[in-house]
Amino acid sequence: MMAPMRHLILLGLAISLSHTGAAAAQTAEAPSSFPGVGLERAFGQLRFERPIFLTGAGDGSGRMFVVEQAGVIRVFEADEEASASSVFLDISEHVSRRGNEEGLLGLAFHPEFAQNGEFFVHFSSARDADDKGVARNAISRFKVSQASSDVADPSSEEVLLLQRQPYRNHNGGMIAFGPDGMLYASFGDGGAANDPEGNGQKLTSMLGGIIRIDVDAKDDGLRYSVPRDNPFVDVDGARPELWAIGLRNVWRFSFDRATGELFAGEVGQNEIEEVDIIVRGGNYGWNRFEADELFAKKTDLIVGEHIAPIATYPHSEGLSITGGYVYRGAAQAPLVGLYLFADYVSGNLWATRGDVASGYETQLVRRTGRSISSFGEDDDGELFALSFDGGIYRVVASDEPEAHLADWPRLLSETGLYGDMRRRELGEHLVPYEVNAPFWSDDALKARYVELPAGTQLGFRAHGTWEVPVGARIVKTFDAAPSGRRKNPSPVETRVIERTEDGWEAGTYVWNRRGTEAELLPAGKQFEQYSARGVTTWHAPSSSECASCHVAEAGFVLGLSTAQLHGADQIEKWVEAGIVALPEGTDLGSLDAFHDPFGQEGSLEDRARTYLDVNCAMCHRPDGPGNASIDLRYGTELAATQLVGETPTQGDLGLEDARVLAPGHPERSVLLERVRTLGTGRMPNIGSNVVDDRAVTLLTEWIRSMK
């Protein structure tokens, strides 16, 4: 059995990842041996709805095909001036989107598509749902219409196989033809959390595995053939389609055009995301292992030995891996041979290179600020990334190495934010502000400030977050509440988020014990401190964790909004001071403002919904990075939130007859359980180590009051 690896990818550092050995970090001063990598917007006039895959057809036409999760495949000519795409196939009426991870998930063109017009799709089939309404995974064959190769024939569908899906998440979804001409497909472990059915270590199910089938032949009773050299063909009771097992949820895999190796991005559970090279009959350990760490000690490997990943990163750097490709194109020579992959939540982009014999090394090469949902290749092997902002981005070599926070002062005293560090007084040029409904921060006392470049203003919006000019900095300080040991608040952390030409940069400065200085820690830090509750654990987030909440879908800066600032004449005073200008005819009195969730104003539902908006909706909103499909924005009608009476898709946390929110029954409501637990399933899942007792009471009363 291969020795488990333990390696950590740190901000700005190159990490040597051996297939069988430990990691060795370069020093921060050492020059990077990896080329710079960047993203450039491609086909800038085109925009897609939740694009989750891109590919060429392999027929020499130069066309590009983009899969939209709702069930539509769009096609366009690969011309930078392309102004429109057309519908190639629309099966949205058959595709389930009830779960956030459900939908039209994969597309593969037959290697002889130019001759036979066949292509294959992998989707969550509402048409073939089980008796509980949970969609089955379906892989179907289609053909193009006889009238035009730009339009598929929906009536040509032939369903090759259906796979039971016990929950609405962990659907896998990738399909691709290998260099052997066989069709490979990934299936997740069935969903919920922790692999409750143990599918990762079963041979009797395709769940938790990658399968391999021959679509050009048919065995008796099947619409495909099982290759005789599949590893488990002669194992009694095993699904003969299985090629590899022990996988939690391979969302994207790809074949190296040069070597034929199969690379897979394996989404982690609690701590680690991983990259695997998939081999015939391989067992990748789930749920005995999460990546290279023990996870469920009571689980035994059903066959073979655990194959360790070639690269990993911890959840301080991202929460959901998006597997990529080994670059084999011609336009970006410095990138040839690099396996490029990303994280959907943090937007981080990594490169890996090496081989099984000598080992692998991996480096963070770009912080993209994008929700990268997938990668894809055109027919020439040029590589593209897709983002839920609707854009297609070309992966390119860059003369500029990743330099996130490189020009930031290492000490807080050097930032120009403080007028007096000893007294911890910020400069007079910073504008303080208050919010109506503060985000929960483990009892910390917080102060908020905005610093605007000379001659600039904030851009008012009646709804959503305000516009922030380039060069502005948003500052939030955190003090530990007084405790029996400390009679006065003690400084813990100062977070800074800066608007740049390219987007946003975020960093956290952690104070020393004496409260005299704070140091920039891009990788974050977790430590014990004294608070009103005694000794508690404080988590200062990494820059990647900051990016996980300050997302584009939520407007990046979460507190600068009319709903949060309206009241106590705060906006009016800013107008008088020239900090913000109101559009002509704006009536502030007609605009809604958040109520204090724990105050006396507003209904119980209003206050509970406000708390959920402020603490959860940055992720749980349409196109947000949250795993569940719920929409927790205050302005969404309760009936449209997918909260009430819905079966949870991310596990029931041990609750009997669990619902996301069970009216009248707090004890059955997973939403409440996530807020009041510190164990697996905790929400928020970043940065909090203390339960918000007032929120638990508020949500309990709200749920109990519901009919």
Total number of domains in the chain: 3
Calculate the alpha carbon distances from 456 to 225, 228, 342, 360, 472 in Å: 66, 69, 35, 48, 9
Which CATH number belongs to the domain containing residue 118 in this structure? 2.120.10.30
Q: Over 90: is that where the pLDDT of 15 sits? A: no
pLDDT at 533: 77
Within a domain: residue 443? yes
Tokens at 112, concatenated? 């002889």
pLDDT at 402: 77
Domain ends where: 550, 571, 594? Answer: 594
Helix (H, G, I), strand (E, B) or coil at 597: coil
Between 453 and 537, name the one with better pLDDT. Answer: 453
What pLDDT digit, counting tens, does each position of 450-502 carry? 999 999 999 999 988 999 999 999 999 999 877 655 567 889 999 999 998 87
pLDDT at 26: 30
Residues 256, 307: Cα–Cα separation, whole Å: 19
Calculate the alpha carbon distances from 706 to 570, 626, 653, 699, 702 in Å: 35, 25, 22, 11, 7
What pLDDT digit, counting tens, does each position of 61-85 carry? 999 999 999 999 999 999 999 999 9
Same domain, 537 and 431: yes
Is 481 within 8 Å of 489 (Cβ atoms)? Answer: yes
Q: Over 90: is that where the pLDDT of 370 sits? A: no
Same domain, 488 and 386: no
Tokens at 95, concatenated? 């595709």
Domain ends where: 559, 594, 629? Answer: 594
Residues 560, 636: Cα–Cα separation, whole Å: 20
- For helices 604-616 and 693-705, the axis angle rounded to 10 degrees is 130
pLDDT at 542: 84
Same domain, 43 and 183: yes
pLDDT at 486: 57
Same domain, 319 and 410: no
> Across-strand partners of 45?
none
pLDDT at 27: 27
Contacts of 273 (CB under 8 A, 6+ apart): 265, 266, 267, 291, 312, 313, 314, 315, 318, 319, 320, 321, 343
Residues 396, 383: Cα–Cα separation, whole Å: 8
Q: Which of 106-110, 168-172, 356-360 has the highest mean pLDDT?
A: 106-110
Tokens at 197, concatenated? 């059915």
Of all residues in the chain, what percent carry a pLDDT higher than 90?
Answer: 72
Residues 668, 560: Cα–Cα separation, whole Å: 35
Q: Over 50: is that where the pLDDT of 625 sits? A: yes
Within a domain: residue 33? no
22-31, 186-195, 415-424: range with lowest mean pLDDT: 22-31
Q: How many Cβ atoms sit within 10 Å of the Cβ of residue 205? A: 20
| CA angle 320–325–329, rounded 5-degree value | 150
pLDDT at 258: 97
Q: Over 50: is that where the pLDDT of 432 sits? A: yes
Same domain, 517 and 629: no
Is 414 within 8 Å of 518 (Cβ atoms)? Answer: no
Q: Over 70: is that where the pLDDT of 18 sits? A: no
Within a domain: residue 194? yes
65-69, 104-108, 113-117, 520-524: range with lowest mean pLDDT: 520-524
Within a domain: residue 24? no
What pLDDT digit, counting tens, does each position of 178-215 carry? 999 999 999 999 999 999 999 999 999 999 999 999 99
Within a domain: residue 23? no
Tokens at 533, concatenated? 């509750």
Is 542 within 8 Å of 550 (Cβ atoms)? Answer: no
pLDDT at 683: 85
Residues 36, 394: Cα–Cα separation, whole Å: 14
101-115, 122-136, 676-690: range with lowest mean pLDDT: 676-690
pLDDT at 697: 96
pLDDT at 483: 61
162-166, 210-214, 549-553: range with lowest mean pLDDT: 549-553
Within a domain: residue 126? yes
Contacts of 155 (CB under 8 A, 6+ apart): none
Q: Over 50: is that where the pLDDT of 346 sits? A: yes
Same domain, 493 and 518: yes
Residues 567, 564: Cα–Cα separation, whole Å: 8
pLDDT at 3: 32
pLDDT at 396: 96
Is 304 within 8 Å of 202 (Cβ atoms)? Answer: no
Total residues found in the chain within this entry? 707
State the average pLDDT over residues 608-633.
87
Torsion angle defined by CA atoms of residues 281, 285, 286 and 292, in that order, rounded to the nearest 10 degrees: -140
Tokens at 209, concatenated? 């595995």
Within a domain: residue 26? no
CA gyration radius, the chain = 26
List Cβ<8 Å contacts ≥24 apart for 276-279.
276/247, 276/307, 276/309, 276/310, 277/310, 277/356, 278/210, 278/243, 278/244, 278/253, 279/244, 279/307
For residue 390, which phi and psi values (nearest 5 degrees)?
95, 0
Q: Which of 4-8, 105-109, 353-357, 398-402 has the highest mean pLDDT?
A: 105-109
Is 442 within 8 Å of 480 (Cβ atoms)? Answer: no
Same domain, 561 and 628: no
Residue 536: pLDDT band by 50, 70, 90 thresholds? confident
Pairing mode, strands 458-459 and 580-581: parallel
Residue 445: pLDDT band by 50, 70, 90 thresholds? very high
What is the DSSP secondary-structure string of 260-274? --EEEEE--SSSEEE
For residue 485, which phi and psi values (nearest 5 degrees)?
-85, -35
Residues 390, 66: Cα–Cα separation, whole Å: 11
Same domain, 224 and 314: yes
Q: Over 80: is that where the pLDDT of 111 sits? A: yes
pLDDT at 204: 98
Tokens at 387, concatenated? 């983002």
Q: Over 70: is that where the pLDDT of 582 sits? A: yes
Residues 378, 381: Cα–Cα separation, whole Å: 5
Q: Over 80: is that where the pLDDT of 350 sits? A: yes
| Closest listed residue to residue 171, CA positions, set 192, 187, 160 | 187
Bond from prior residue into 287 cis (ω within 30 degrees of 0): yes
The separation between CA 300 and the C-alpha centre of its own chain, rounded to angstroms, equals 30
Within a domain: residue 209? yes
Question: SS in 3 state form for 547-593?
Answer: HHHCCHHHCCCCCCEHHHHCCCCHHHHHHHHCCEECCCCCCHHHCCC
Range of the domain at 421: 404-594
Same domain, 274 and 334: yes
DSSP state at residue 283: B
Residue 556: pLDDT band by 50, 70, 90 thresholds? confident
Dihedral sign of CA atoms 47, 49, 52, 55 in order: negative
Same domain, 482 and 552: yes
Residue 6: pLDDT band by 50, 70, 90 thresholds? very low
What pLDDT digit, counting tens, does each position of 253-286 carry? 999 999 999 999 999 999 999 999 999 999 999 9
pLDDT at 4: 29
> What integer best gives the mean pLDDT of the chain?
90
What pLDDT digit, counting tens, does each position of 205-239 carry? 999 999 999 999 999 999 999 999 999 999 999 99
Same domain, 227 and 147: yes
Same domain, 542 and 631: no
Residues 580, 281: Cα–Cα separation, whole Å: 63
Domain ends where: 379, 398, 417? Answer: 398
